[in-house]
Amino acid sequence: MDLFFFFLFALIAVIAAVNVVLQRQPIASALSLIGVMGSIAVLYLLLGAEFIAMAQIIVYAGAVMVLFVFVIMLLNASPEVRRGRSWTSQLLGVPALLALLGILCYFVQGQFANAGFVKFGNFTGGSAKSVGLALFTDYLLPFEVTSVLILIAIVGAIVLARKEMD
């Protein structure tokens, strides 16, 4: 059952990610990216990270992607124009990426081939209670610093996006 759900949502994630890269309309890419994030949230649930899965749906699939779609609509983004590339990038681009992927998979298989198995229900340390406990005891300082970061980001975004008034 674990295997079935893993393959189902891994397949959805990969197909949607390919769609993100290949679509020429930005809005289609954005909707595919929501699909990727939703299926990654299900994989988080399978890995026993309930709180992170819900945060993924609320923060990423909800807030961040709404912001993206909002900006795409606001700027009336048109499909991008295709233009000629240099022959080196046409010839070597995809093989170089496949080489990157191959090297990554090779090292992962070499290092973590016997790293154990994921079985749903074996690890229940990802509930809101245990994440909150760790966040407010061991990781209190980074958590507080994060609030300052968000404040700076809000002020920065408003300063960048406002109209000049004088």
Q: Which of residues 34-93 bind other proteins (CB under 8 A)?
A: 36-37, 40, 43-44, 46-49, 51-52, 55-56, 59-60, 63-64, 67-68, 71-72, 74-75, 77, 80-81, 83, 93
Taking CB under 8 A as the criterion, the residue among 8, 91, 92, 122 binding other proteins is 122
Residues with Cβ within 8 Å of residue 121, at least 6 apart in sequence:
48
140 near other proteins, rule: CB under 8 A: no
If you search the block for the tokens 């909002």, which residue do you land on? 70
Q: Applying CB under 8 A, does 136 fall inside the site for other proteins?
A: no
The DSSP output letter for 138 is T
At residue 8, what are phi and psi to the nearest 5 degrees? -60, -55
Q: Within 1-40, which residues bind other proteins (CB under 8 A)?
A: 2-3, 6, 10, 13-14, 17-18, 20-21, 26, 29-30, 33, 36-37, 40
Minimum separation from the CB atom of position 156 to other proteins (A): 5
* Phi, psi torsion values for 163, nearest 5 degrees: -85, 140
The letter for the amino acid at 65 is M
For residues 12 and 39, is the Cβ–Cβ distance under 8 A? yes
Query: Which 3 state secondary structure label does DSSP give 60?
Result: helix
Among the listed residues 84, 116, 141, 165, the single contact to other proteins using CB under 8 A: 116
d(CA 62, CA 58) in angstroms, rounded, equals 5
Applying CB under 8 A, which of residues 86, 88, 95, 109 lies at the interface with other proteins?
Answer: 109
Q: How far is the CB of 166 from other proteins (least distance, A)?
A: 16
- The CA distance from 3 to 8, in Å, is 8
Q: Which of 117, 141, 144, 165 binds other proteins (CB under 8 A)?
A: 117
